Amino acid sequence: MHGTKPLPAPLWDHELPTQTYIMYGQTHSPTMDAEVSGEPDGMSKICLSCHDGIVALDAYGGNTFGTAILFDKDLIGTVPSNNHPISFIYDTALAAKDGKLYDPSTKLSGLNSSTGTIDDDPSTKLSGLNGSTGTIDADMLFLNRMECSSCHDVHNKYAVPKTKLLVKDNAGSALCLTCHNK
């Protein structure tokens, strides 16, 4: 719309160092920022900026705490709703502390089936790439963090039949039980 002409600086701020904005806090690259914020970080913000419950389906299913306005402040951020938390570090230490989670550095994700390829091209097989051991850590986490795309296959890389954008079939809660040891 504005072609290649440089845009004028904001009229009220002439000392602006940049002409472009940071998007999603610029932490969406898994090579950047390992800060533990306990809040959705860049790669999940990409999802949540549309999935706000109005523009697109709420990422947290639209369930609520009911009518209680009192709840533990510690839950803010890490559990934005009563659904699954995201953007937290899931590692051996967390698994040990929790006691009901598998160790993501050793437990296999199970994402490397023959369906885990694009158009049956074996080179697109995800698990096992980059020396991956096929663990949860390697296949599903991003800098050890659980994010939206840990479970949601938004680009349909795995092409699992009947899964509605999940990285694996959740029949019998198989996706849940990948990490949860109950």
* Binding residues vs other proteins (CB under 8 A): 1-2, 7-16, 19-26, 37, 39-40, 45, 48-50, 52-55, 58, 62, 64-65, 67, 69-71, 73, 76-77, 80-81
CB-nearer residue toward other proteins: 58 or 169: 58
Nearest approach, Cβ of 3 to other proteins (angstroms)? 11
Nearest approach, Cβ of 26 to other proteins (angstroms)? 7
CB-nearer residue toward other proteins: 24 or 105: 24
CB-nearer residue toward other proteins: 62 or 120: 62
CA distance 20 to 25: 13
Nearest approach, Cβ of 131 to other proteins (angstroms)? 33
Cα torsion 124, 146, 33, 7: sign: positive
Nearest approach, Cβ of 64 to other proteins (angstroms)? 6
Nearest approach, Cβ of 95 to other proteins (angstroms)? 25
CA distance 152 to 101: 19
Q: Left (φ > 0), alpha (ψ -120 to 50) or beta: where does 119 sit?
A: left
CA distance 19 to 110: 45
How far the first Cα of the chain sits from its last, in Å, is: 55
CB-nearer residue toward other proteins: 6 or 99: 6
Cβ neighbourhood burial of 178 (10 Å; 0-12, 13-18, 19+):
buried
CB-nearer residue toward other proteins: 10 or 131: 10
